[in-house]
Every structure is written in structure tokens, then in C-alpha cells.
Amino acid sequence: MARRYVSIKEVAARAGVSFQTASKVLNGGNVRVSAETAARIIAVAESLGYRPNTVARSLVQQSTATIGLVAGDITDGALSQFVVAAERTARGHGHAVLVGNLAEGGEDGAAVVQMLIDRRVDGVIAAAPQLEGDLQVAEMLRRYVPAVSLHHVPGGGVPLVGSNHRAGARTATEHLIQLGHTSIGTVTGPFRRHVVRSRLHGYEDALRAAGIEPDEDLAAEADWTPGTAAAATRLLLERDRRMTAIFVHSDAMAIGVLSALALAGRRVPADVAVVSCDDMPFAPYLTPSLSSLRVPFGETGRAAVELLLRSIAGEPAPESTVRLPVELIVRDSCGGRGASTSPPYLTSSSASPAHREKQKEDS
Amino acid sequence: MARRYVSIKEVAARAGVSFQTASKVLNGGNVRVSAETAARIIAVAESLGYRPNTVARSLVQQSTATIGLVAGDITDGALSQFVVAAERTARGHGHAVLVGNLAEGGEDGAAVVQMLIDRRVDGVIAAAPQLEGDLQVAEMLRRYVPAVSLHHVPGGGVPLVGSNHRAGARTATEHLIQLGHTSIGTVTGPFRRHVVRSRLHGYEDALRAAGIEPDEDLAAEADWTPGTAAAATRLLLERDRRMTAIFVHSDAMAIGVLSALALAGRRVPADVAVVSCDDMPFAPYLTPSLSSLRVPFGETGRAAVELLLRSIAGEPAPESTVRLPVELIVRDSCGGRGASTSPPYLTSSSASPAHREKQKEDS
DNA sequence: ACGGTCTAGGCGAACGTTCGTTCATCAGGA
DNA sequence: TCCTGATGAACGAACGTTCGCCTAGACCGT
């Protein structure tokens, strides 16, 4: 247990120079020091295991090289992909990431942001739809620290990064329409969420473009969990027996939707076609394999951090939302690949798994 | 854009006292200052929006009230549950959490830990099985900073927190045996992982206790992804047509296993019973609903942080691993609830979904 | 009138850096 | 010989705190 940090003064003393000189050699840039002296200092530093104290450095430089990340539910695969990518890019740029996970409802949003500000993070990334309506948090992000947000911030003033959910939803719905469906339901996230409304708009756009008038009864709200999604599905089935397709707002919910359909004796895609959003890694392996909109969470995380770092560096933020493209991945659950009218497990749907498998951390 | 922090000196000046006195009032404990003076200082501080600079505080106190978390794949639901709980507990104790997400293979382990140490975190939590064999990281955790680990650390010296995977696997396997299965396969994580070996031992314990000699051919390795798990399942099916049950090492992999079984025309649980590990939120909603060992990831995160904080405070660490209990949740996939010989979606398996649904952050 | 004891608050130092300025030495040119 | 300019390195100040010791004055008892 060494557990004591060696300071630059000790290095300097052992090298026979002033600590400031050592500082210049070790951490500063190009300074006028003789080659031998520099070499000596470096040698001593190495032998002593010197590591600059970033805390002290932060104090004088008035910058911590740290960004704060206030996160909603990381447990959600989508957000976690975002977070991982964000942290890695930040680290790639020499920045560390301080995270705060909100309580379930996000009621501690202001406290979390305050804690990040108190720790003098150089900027904050907000990735928590729960905070969409939080005026206090919005004000903090606007005034006290450079910020980038993944979700809508009331009052604006904070650059946004995200995907074009409206376009994505439209694409998904159009695909179902092309397959001949005319009674298309949707299982959504909470209506009050921006993403959800965008997707509903995209869904309606597609329907109207095809001359189908959207029916309120065909939209059922859930809360992103499989359980509520299953309940929403049952509701849809009760309301309209003729419904032959469902557009689901997340893969996790799609699991619940598939479950409810199975329990109701509806075959997928023969009786009901399903398209979802997120394209989580498990999507190809559900039964039937799940068609889904691929949302570039990793890309988004990277983009958010890069935007934030530029903003910290003083570059003006873009006035409009940075939008990343989504892409529809067609698999069996929508029947768009010409598979199955028979139950999926009797189909030798060769193409479904195995492709695009991410070689995972082999933990 | 205010974006300039007010220091205690400004507060003190406006209140007409020395900054040290202001410090005592605002941040120190019980000091001898008259009530009026104190009130005045506090009033000024509030009106100016003073917030103590934690960076400066850290410098003098030689403690950052921050813990580092080196994480393997957060994208994995299990780990993310752990991380969220850990961060929340840490925050509850006034500590912030700095995260570092390893690269896929964990090859940047030392770099990540070094980065945390450079930032002078008070302690480190290692939650990355990829690092199990990393001697360099092990040495760092042992010498430079108080640490707690979720995974085995070569050479020891770092307190461990985790679940009793061997006992859990034994329980799961015993359950399958009780249901009458005698040819029980297993789809595992990478063999070189400690957890995996523990679970294999538990699995073999149960078999031997029932007088069944474990068969190497019945253990197929995967890498925690549904894709490799599906492949492993196909392998098992080829090797032994009589196999009637599979013990899977994670719910994510179970998705792949179910997929492969469906494609092979085997019904679950009628032809093959499946029990898995993790009990992720989606487990009740797979078709059929998945029996799984509930592993207390949240509890583990909390325990890890509490142990670490005690260790930081100077308490001696426990010499043995802190072990949290796992619990078998029986659902339809193992047939242990007396459900279905018919395909699951024809069964009105009423009990499966809806119970124990965590009301999720309604993001 | 004098010493002692509180009380309220001041003050210096330290934490480990960075940054800009100053200083000493030396060589070369006039 | 003296001045000039490099060159190499030292030095002081500052960043915003905490911590412990010091002190001015008030009050008290004798």
C-alpha cells in the first residue's frame, strides 16, 4: 500500500531544480530548458512514479476536463449505448465523465445537475427525457454551464442532438402500408414525450399520404416496458379485430407486444405484422426476428460529446437540432421478407440470426 | 450566460469579514462567530449564488469525494443495473462517480484505471470481468487506491462483492432434475471466466448429487450474445438428440437459445426446458416466459459502494467475498409451473406477464 | 489598577499546480 | 572593456479552499 502521491516538488528536489522548472518540463509545452536537465527531470519523475495532480491543475486552469452526464434510465439498452459512446469519445479527447443517474421519475434532476456544476464540470450532456418538462433544469443548463441535450429543453437555448424520429416512423409505417396493411396500430411510449409525438406524427404522415385517416383508437400508450406494452396490445386487439399490423416504439416493448399477440393466438407476421424501433442486439433473435428502425445511439453519443466540446471551446452552437439518420432493418416480424405464414418456429428462416452479430465484450 | 463562479472571497468582502471566517460559516462546522455575522454571511452567499468550489476543497482536503468505476459492457442490462445502483448510493453518501467504459476486449484497462487515479478518485470499483486476468490492473488496484471488485482479481488483495453463482446454478439445475430431466445441456459464457466456471461447478454439483455424470458434450460455450448462444444451442442439438433441458448463463443468451430451438422445431418447454440467469425485466415477456435466476445486481452495486466507502474511511476490508443470494424465478420456459405441452402461444398462461412489473421511468 | 478568561474574528500557511516575469551567466561584437 | 542578446533556470503570484493559531477587546474578579 503505497497510496501516497508524489508531487512535482519532490521530483524537482531530487532533480535539483525548482519545481516550476520541473513543471514546465513535465506538463508544460516548449520551454527553454537544457536537454540534459529535462532528461534528468523526466528520469526522476519516472523513477518516482510521478503523476500530475489533475485536481491542482484544474484549480489553476479553471477547467476540469470533465463533462457531466445526467442520465435517465441507463438500464435501457438505448441509453446505455449512448452513454458508452459518449464516455469513450470524451476520454478520447482527454475528458472524463461524471455521471448522475436520475431517480425513476426524474424528480432529482435539479439536484443532479447542481452536483455536476458544483464539481465544476466543463459542460453537461443531458440524456433524460424525464427532464423534458423541467424548467428549473432547463434554466440551469442554459445559464450555468455549456450543455447539449438529447431531449427537448423547454425554452430552448441548449443545442439538441438526436435522430429524426418523425421520418423514421414514417418510413416504418410506409413499409407496413406497402405490404398491404391498412389497419395499422401503434404501441407508443408516454404521449407527453417529444419522441413519442414525433413518431406519432410520422406514423400519421404515412397513413395520410396513403389516404388512410389515422384512428385514435389505434394508438395505445405504454411506458417503454414490455408489461405495459403487452397491456396496450391487448387493448388494441379489443378495440379493433381487423388490425393487421403494429408499429411499436421500442424493441423492449416489442417483446411485450409479441408476448400479448402470442397469448391472444395471433401469429406474427401472418396475422399481425410488427415493426419496432431501436434495433437492439437481441432483435434478430426474437421469434420471429424483429423488424426494427435502427437508431444510431452510439453515433449520437459521439456527436453530442463532440458538439459539447466544441461549445466548451467557444465555438458557437448550431441553432438547429443535429439530426442523425435512422434506417429500417427488415426482418421476419413484418413479413416484409416474404417469410412465413406458418408459425415462425416451423419456418427455416435462414437469414434471421447470425448476421451483423456484434462480437461482444467477452466478459 | 452568467457562467462565472463567485468565490468565497467575494462573499466575504460583501459581508465585511475575512474570507476564512466566511469559510467557517459556510462550509466549516461549529465555529465561534456571532449569530448576526453568520446570518449576514449566509444571506450574502445566497444572494450571490455562492457554491463552494469542490475542486479547491479537494485539493486541500486531499480527497475528492469521488469514486471511479471501471465498467465492462454497460450495454449489458445486468451491469447497467449494477452501475445505476452504485452511483445512486455513492451520491447518497456525497460521492460522485467517474466512469470509464472499457474497450471491447478490455485492453485499455490499465489506461482507464490510471486515468481514474490521475484524477485522484478516493476509490475504485472494478466491474469488468474482462479484467479478471489483467495483472497490471490488479496491481494498480492493490497498491494505488482503495478498491472493490465484482470480479476475481489475480493475486487477491482486493475485496470482492458478488453473488453465489455456484449455488445458484446448482439450484437451477436441481430444479430441472426434479422435473425429471436427466440429459441437461448448458449454454455458457466464455469458459475462462470465473462466473462461468462457478456456474459450471454448480451445474455439475447438482448432476452428480443426482447420480448423473456430467457430460462435456453437453456444455457449449458462447460469449454472452444471443447469436453465439444460438450457435451453441445448435451444437448441443447436434451432439445429443435426447437432451431435454438447457441451463443458460444469461437472459440475453436465452433469447438466442429460444430462437435456435424454435428454428429447430423444438417446443419449449414441451420438448426442451430452459432455465436462465439474470432475470432481466423482459424475461417474463418472452415466449414462453423465461424461468431465470434472479441475481441482485442492484443490491450488489449498493453493497460494493458501501464496502468501498468503509474501506476508504479506513475500516479493514472483509477477507472473504461478500456474497449475495440468488433466487430461482420459475416461469413457463422450464415447464415447472405445470403449463403447456402445446405451443406456448396457445396456452392461456395467465400468470406469466404483468406481475412484478417494475413501473419504469416513464421517459 | 491588574491579571485572567472568554468571545469573535483575523491571519498565515498549505494543498499542487501553471504562468509570466526576473535573474544570472556566457558568448560575441564593437 | 563594455554592451547586447541569448540561454537556462529561478521565482512570485494565483487558483479557492481548509485548518489551526493568534489577537483585540470585553468582561470579570480581586
Nearest to B64 among A55, A76, A265 (CB): A55
**Å between CA of A19 and C1' of C25:** 21
Q: Are the CB atoms for B82 and B301 separated by under 8 Å? A: yes
Judged by a CB distance cut-off of 8 A, whether residue A48 touches chain B is no
- Burial letters for B67-101: b for 16+ Cβ neighbours within 10 Å, e otherwise? bbbbbbbbbbbbbbbbbbbbbbbbbeeebbbbbbb
- Considering chain A, what percentage of its residues have pLDDT values greater than 70? 91
Residue in this structure with the C-alpha cell 438547429, named with its chain if needed: A320
Q: What is the pLDDT of residue A353?
A: 42
Kindly give the interhelix angle for A8-15 and A35-48, rounded to the nearest 10 degrees.
130
CA distance A77 to chain B (A): 6
**Greater confidence, A308 or A315?**
A308
A55, A96, A112 member nearest B58 (Cβ): A55
| CA nearest to A275, candidates A206, A213, A342 | A206
Contacts with A, B 58-117, CB within 8 Å: 58-59, 64, 66, 72-77, 80-81, 83-84, 87-88, 91, 96-106, 112, 114-115, 117
Using a CB–CB cutoff of 8 Å, tell me whether B321 touches chain A.
no
Does residue A6 surpass a pLDDT of 60? yes
State yes or no: pLDDT of A341 exceeds 80: no
Mutate to test the interface with B, among A69, A305, A363 (most CBs of B within 10 A): A363
Chain position carrying cell 464516455: A87
User: Which of B279, B214, B227, B274 shows the shortest CA–CA distance to B253?
Assistant: B227
Q: Which protein residue's Cα is closest to nucleotide C6 at C1'?
A: B32
Quick check: A238 and A205 in contact, CB under 8 A?
Answer: no
Confidence bin at A3 (pLDDT 50/70/90): low
Q: How far is the CA of B19 from the C1' of C8 (A)?
A: 14
Q: Is B61 left (phi over 0), alpha (psi -120 to 50) or beta?
A: alpha
B80: its cell numbers? 447497467
Interatomic CA distance for residues B235 and B232, integer angstroms: 5
Backbone angles phi, psi at B163, to 5 degrees: -105, 165
CA to C1' distance (Å), from A157 to C8? 47
How far does the CA of residue A244 sit from the closest CA of chain B (Å)? Answer: 18
Quickly give A85 CA vs C18 C1' distance in Å.
Answer: 32
Q: What is the mean pLDDT of residues A326-352?
A: 63
Helix (H) or strand (E) holding B87: helix B77-92
Q: Does B171 touch chain A (CB under 8 A)?
A: no
Mean pLDDT to the nearest integer, A129-145: 96
Residue with nearest Cα to nucleotide C14 C1': B60
Residue A316: pLDDT band (50, 70, 90) is confident
Q: Which residue is nearest to nucleotide D10 (CA to C1')?
A: A18
Mean pLDDT of the region A307-316: 94
Q: Straight-line distance from CA B34 to C1' C6, in Å? A: 14
The grid coordinates listed for A256 are 411485450
Give, rounded to a whole angstrom, the gap between the first and last alpha carbons of chain B: 28
Q: Is the pLDDT reported for residue A356 higher than 50? A: no
Q: Which residues of A175-195 are buried (b: 16+ CB within 10 A; e: fewer)?
A: bbbebebeebbbbbbbeebbb
CA A40 to CA A37: how far, in whole Å? Answer: 5
Beta-strand pair A184-188/B322-324: unpaired
- B54 and A287 within 8 Å at the Cβ level: the answer is no
CA-based nearest distance B105→chain A, Å: 5
Cell of B89: 448510493
* DSSP secondary structure code for residue A332 in this structure: G
Chain-centroid distance, C-alpha A204: 25
pLDDT of A346: 34
C-alpha–C-alpha distance, residues B227 and B263, integer Å: 13
Asked if residue B44 keeps its beta carbon closer than 7 A to nucleic acid strand D, the reply is: no
Cross-chain CB nearest to B2 (options A102, A143, A260): A143
* Residues ≥6 apart with Cβ < 8 Å to A231: A222, A256, A260, B354
User: CA at A27, C1' at C27: how many angstroms apart?
Assistant: 31
User: Using CB atoms, which residue from A128, A189, A281 is nearest to B226?
Assistant: A281
Q: What is the pLDDT of residue B363?
A: 42
- The pLDDT-based confidence of A320 (bands split at 50, 70, 90) is confident
B272 within 8 A of B236, measured Cβ to Cβ: no
Give the model confidence (pLDDT) of A221-248 as tens digits.
Answer: 999 999 999 999 999 999 988 999 999 9
As a whole number of angstroms, the distance between CA B321 and CA B158 comes to 9
Helix ranges restricted to H, chain A: 8-15, 19-26, 35-48, 54-61, 77-92, 109-118, 135-143, 165-178, 194-209, 226-239, 251-263, 297-312
Contact indicator for B301, B83 with CB cutoff of 8 Å: yes
B61 touches strand D (CB under 7 A): yes
The whole-number average pLDDT for the span A121-146 is: 96
Spanning CA of A30 to C1' of C28, the rounded length in angstroms is: 26
pLDDT at position A359 is 41
At B173 the three-state DSSP class reads helix
Contacting B residues, span 181-200, partner chain A, CB-CB under 8 Å: 189-190, 193
Q: pLDDT of chain B along its 363 residues, tens only?
A: 546 899 999 999 999 999 999 999 998 766 788 889 999 999 999 999 999 999 999 999 999 999 999 999 999 999 999 999 999 999 999 999 999 999 998 999 999 999 999 999 999 999 999 999 999 999 999 999 999 999 999 999 999 999 999 999 999 999 999 999 999 999 999 999 999 999 999 999 999 999 999 999 999 999 999 999 999 999 999 998 899 999 999 999 999 999 999 999 999 999 999 999 999 999 999 999 999 999 999 999 999 999 999 999 998 888 778 889 999 999 999 997 764 433 333 333 333 443 334 444 444
The whole-angstrom separation of Cα A41 and Cα B309 is 36
Calpha distance A334→B255 (Å, rounded): 19
- The 10s digit of each residue's pLDDT in A201-223 is 999 999 999 999 999 999 999 99
Closest among A68, A64, A43 to A53, alpha carbons compared: A64
Task: Output the pLDDT for position B348.
Answer: 36
Does residue A354 carry a pLDDT above 50? Answer: no
pLDDT for the residue A338:
60
User: Which residues numbered 131-170 in A keep a CB inside 8 Å of some CB on B?
Assistant: 143-145
Give the A window 274-293 contacts with B, CB below 8 Å: 281-282, 284-287, 289
Size of interface A-B (CB pairs under 8 A): 269
Estimate in Å the CA A34 to C1' D8 gap, whole number.
7
Interface test with B, best of A285, A297, A340 (most B CBs within 10 A): A285
Contacts of residue A37, defined as CB under 8 A and 6 or more positions apart, other chains included, come to A15, A17, A21, A25
Angle, to 10 degrees, between the axis of helix B8-15 and the axis of helix B19-26? 110
Which residue in B has a C-alpha nearest to residue A263's C-alpha? B345
- Of B226, B262, B346, which has the smallest distance from its Cβ to A345's Cβ? B262
For the four alpha carbons of B10, B12, B16 and B18, in that order, the dihedral sign comes to negative
Q: Are B65 and B98 in contact (CB under 8 A)?
A: no
Contacts of B350 (CB under 8 A, 6+ apart): none
Q: From the candidates B1, B70, B285, B347, which should be mutated to test the interface with A, based on the most A CB atoms within 10 A?
A: B285
In this prediction, residue B58 carries a pLDDT of: 97
